[in-house]
Amino acid sequence: MADLPRILVVDDSRVVRISLIHHLKGQYEVREESDGEAAWQTLILDHTIQAVISDLQMPKLNGFELLERVRTSKLKRLQQLPFILVSGEETEEERAKAKALGVSDFVTKGAGCTEVLTRLNNQLDLSRAREHLDAGREQMVHDPVSGLFTRKFLELQAAQAMSHATRHGVDISVMVLGFDGFDGMGERLGVHVAEEVGNRFAKMLASKMRQEDSLGHFGAGQFAVVSPGTTPAFCATFAERVREAVEVARLTVHGQAVALTVSIGLASAPSDMVTSAGALLDLAGERMHAAMRAGGNRTESGGVLPASRPISILHALELLAANRQLQVVPHLPSLAERLLPLLQLMHQELDLPLPVAEIERLLSERKSQKN
């Protein structure tokens, strides 16, 4: 019985319920209720019920009222539940009302239990076919493991955004991000662990995005963000924030510390003059690969902003705390310049013997040599 589909039979007549149960026995497991209100409570609590056969005239809550509650429920499983109304005095007006409320089928008691069984079998077959169709559609839209959009669906989102941008004269920006050395990460830690790292990164990225942005897969260890109405400059600023956040992240996987960096490629329309959403995504992907070839851990924006920019003092401290001194070294001169006023103040107010003048002289010479 546990393997049989569970059906709810609702009728205030015990004789009718017994007759229906007798004909359904062997093919279905049947649960019964004698009024609409009790049936409603059962449907809320029992998630295993796959269909309802209900009388029309019942106390407390009639068949129409029960059907209306089911179809207007916030629970998706109830909205799509096969619902067959059985009436002893069927009229065209009743049929029209039942259809408007979303009934799956409507039969008269005079049709016999065999007819009800046939209608029930047909409705359950349709329900299963719909579930398979929905599952297939979901797999086309979302990756079954990460829950992110697939690349194909992301292209559709980008196409819609480009169409809207063209009509309203606004920008659309795309950002493609990839882990530097992702293949090597898979070899060192295993494919499943590398995928877990990617999924964690995706959750972090999703938490920083706007509701109107779309996040999806682009390739192995690579993700894409479609941002409608976002200018290239704002997209580049966001990209740098993401890159910096990954750079200082302290990620531990299975007890092992994992140092990560990402390379990011940006593309925007209309500034990049691409003709399709696919071309826009591909251009961002090409720029991401260019950033990787240039050493990684950088953003390539096609000239909108420099591939790298001076890091903040706070970010430098975060890098040092994450034991990434090498990432700070190229920025030491600019950091020292910004720290000079603070060093001068400490020298004056705290009477510290800091070689401020010497530091200022060396920085000035270095700048002259560079120019």
- pLDDT, residue 129, reads 64
1-26 confidence digits (pLDDT tens): 457 888 999 998 888 888 888 888 88
Q: Hunting for tokens 């696919």 — which residue is that?
A: 278
> What length is written for the chain?
371
State the DSSP string of 283-324. Answer: HHHHHHHHHHHTTSSSEE-TTSS-SS-PPPHHHHHHHHHTT-
State the Cα–Cα distance between residues 31 and 120, nearest whole angstrom.
15
335 Rama sector, left if φ>0, alpha if ψ -120 to 50, beta otherwise = alpha
213-249 confidence digits (pLDDT tens): 888 888 888 999 999 988 888 888 889 888 888 888 7
- pLDDT, residue 324, reads 72
Do 190 and 184 touch, CB atoms closer than 8 A?
Answer: no
248-261 confidence digits (pLDDT tens): 877 776 777 777 89
Model confidence, pTM: 0.51
Point out the least confidently predicted range of 4-18, 42-56, 180-194, 220-234.
180-194
State the Cα–Cα distance between residues 154 and 145, nearest whole angstrom.
16
Do 37 and 127 touch, CB atoms closer than 8 A?
Answer: no
